[in-house]
């Protein structure tokens, strides 16, 4: 997918993580590469030929799931596809965010446009028209087990194309017929196989996991910044970040993380002030082992990203149309690409990374408020006793870190048979991806509290300054949150710091430093 000013040209099967991040972050006009239409048309023609011939083919002129042996008359094929969407639109819970829905629609468009699904160009063009008009189908978050496709949520996506149900436009709910009429988009009538192709696939699971991935990337960056700031606030040593230490172990994420920490703390006057005469021999693990822990998280995030990118470009519906049989014969092949096990595993590893990023940050907060470890005033406030300072802010961080431990339990090890045991093993990938948002927000609060605590520690070392990179972060925070000189209503400060983490503001001025994360 290539970017042209405010538009995107989608080349099916060739999206990058950078493309997906951009779509997640903000809407832009989508254009399908012209060369994609030939294979789409050929695939649709193959389905029509099968219908004309009259041979039974799953998903084209048969029932679904355990009803696959039921032959459907030709005159009822359109009704079959419409009924499929209506009956499968059984989702519940909060609606998916516009950012996630954009990813769902983009990946469904890309998958169908590869020409193995047998849908007409009209179907893909209608999805593109909805996307470009900012008409976001109202998709409930719950109701998929991540196998046989994300049937329920993708059915809700398809409802919008039929002019049924609700959609969201500029954040407001409105009836789909009204939104389509305003945009000049005609509702579609589904032909043979088109409904099944639209709802069979892993796009919702993958979109939720990609959302978790992109949040995890921001958390990783932010926690490296706050971890470096805590190192200086606690007058920790930078010796554990020596490149030679990490080279002899050889773990790539660890090596890269250590390099980032060295750059973050470079030229700190606080560090220079205690190079000699410091009686401490070794720092606690939450300071000293940051490259080892964060580097391992970096590797997990990178591995998950590779899996999710493959899935974003994949064809995951069923059955598939292949035109490479003997003498160019069309073959309808039933398989199981809709089983989202790769996505579930990737989401589960992201959950581990998100939980550990928060867990390590919580330990640094605990260190900073403990005067015996940090050398700073108890609970980071003057006149402790009268003032409680960061005492209970740390309790909040501990509560969220503990909650993440429960949420990090792998979803992929669970399975509950469905469809009268036809779908007898499922991935639970949709929940695996969905729970990442809660975990990410928990960790963002923990990192935000660490930001406040570490900045407070830096202020107690004035007039000495930390490194230029970290001084800039400190200044950014102080524009929003003043020094904590006495107890005050603390929740707004924590929310402001959390939003800095969520928006990526802690690393926004040193993007070059973090560029290797996405190489």
Q: How far apart are CA 71 and CA 268, in angstroms?
A: 75
Beta bridge partners of 62: 71
Cβ proximity of 346 and 308 under 8 Å:
yes
Of 58, 116, 131, 261, catalytic = 58
> Encoding tokens for residue 497?
């710091």
The closest of 437, 55, 438, 510 to 264, measured between CA atoms, is 510
CA distance 406 to 174: 37
Q: Are 285 and 327 in contact (CB under 8 A)?
A: no
Alpha helical stretches, state H, 412-428: none
The CA distance from 275 to 297, in Å, is 30
Contacts of 3 (CB under 8 A, 6+ apart): 19, 22, 28
Strand 92-95 versus strand 7-10 pairing type: unpaired
Tell me how far apart the alpha carbons of residues 372 and 340 are, in angstroms, rounded to a whole number: 49
Q: Is 58 a catalytic residue?
A: yes
Buried-exposed string 437-451: b where 16+ CB fall within 10 A, e elsewhere: bebbbbbbbbbbbbb
Backbone angles phi, psi at 140, to 5 degrees: -65, 145
Catalytic residue numbers, as ranges: 58
């Amino acid at each position: 997918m290539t970017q042209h000013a405010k538009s995107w040209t989608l080349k099916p099967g060739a999206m990058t993580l950078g493309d997906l991040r951009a779509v997640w972050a903000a809407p832009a006009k989508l254009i399908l590469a012209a060369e994609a239409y030939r294979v789409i048309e050929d695939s649709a023609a193959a389905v029509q030929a099968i219908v004309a011939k009259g041979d039974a083919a799953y998903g084209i002129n048969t029932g679904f799931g355990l009803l696959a042996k039921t032959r459907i008359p030709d005159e009822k094929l359109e009704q079959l596809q419409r009924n499929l969407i209506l009956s499968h639109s059984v989702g519940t819970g909060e609606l998916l965010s516009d950012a996630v829905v954009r990813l769902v629609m983009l990946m469904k468009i890309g998958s169908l446009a590869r020409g193995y699904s047998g849908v007409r160009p009209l179907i893909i063009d209608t999805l593109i028209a909805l996307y470009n008009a900012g008409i976001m189908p109202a998709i409930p978050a719950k109701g998929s087990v991540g196998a046989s496709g994300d049937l329920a949520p993708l059915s809700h996506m398809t409802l919008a194309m039929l002019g049924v149900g609700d959609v969201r436009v500029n954040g407001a709910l409105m009836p789909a017929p009204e939104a389509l009429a305003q945009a000049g988009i005609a509702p579609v009538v589904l032909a043979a196989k088109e409904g099944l192709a639209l709802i069979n696939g892993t796009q919702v699971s993958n979109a939720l996991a990609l959302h978790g991935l992109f949040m995890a990337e921001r958390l990783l960056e932010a926690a490296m910044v706050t971890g470096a700031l805590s190192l200086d606030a606690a007058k920790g040593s930078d010796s554990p970040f020596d490149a030679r230490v990490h080279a002899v172990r050889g773990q790539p994420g660890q090596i890269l993380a250590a390099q980032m920490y060295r750059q973050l703390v470079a030229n700190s006057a606080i560090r220079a002030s205690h190079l000699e005469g410091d009686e401490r021999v070794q720092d606690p693990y939450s300071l000293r082992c940051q490259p080892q822990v964060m580097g391992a998280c970096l590797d997990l995030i990178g591995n998950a990203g590779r899996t999710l990118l493959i899935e974003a470009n994949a064809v995951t519906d069923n059955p598939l149309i292949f035109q490479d049989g003997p003498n160019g014969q069309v073959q309808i092949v039933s398989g199981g690409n809709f089983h989202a096990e790769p996505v579930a595993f990737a989401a589960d590893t992201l959950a581990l990374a998100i939980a550990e990023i928060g867990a390590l940050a919580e330990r640094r907060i605990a260190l900073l408020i403990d005067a015996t470890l940090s050398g700073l005033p108890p609970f980071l406030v003057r006149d402790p006793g009268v003032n409680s300072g960061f005492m209970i802010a740390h309790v909040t961080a501990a509560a969220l870190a503990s909650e993440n431990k429960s949420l990090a339990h792998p979803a992929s090890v669970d399975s509950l048979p469905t469809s009268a045991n036809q779908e007898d093993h499922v991935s639970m990938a949709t929940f695996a991806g969905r729970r990442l948002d809660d975990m990410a927000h928990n960790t963002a609060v923990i990192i935000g509290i660490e930001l406040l605590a570490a900045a407070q520690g830096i202020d107690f070392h004035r007039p000495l300054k930390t490194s230029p990179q970290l001084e800039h972060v400190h200044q950014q925070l102080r524009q929003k949150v003043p020094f904590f000189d006495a107890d005050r209503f603390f929740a707004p400060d924590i929310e402001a710091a959390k939003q800095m983490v969520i928006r990526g503001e802690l690393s926004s001025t040193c993007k070059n430093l973090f560029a290797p994360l996405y190489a």
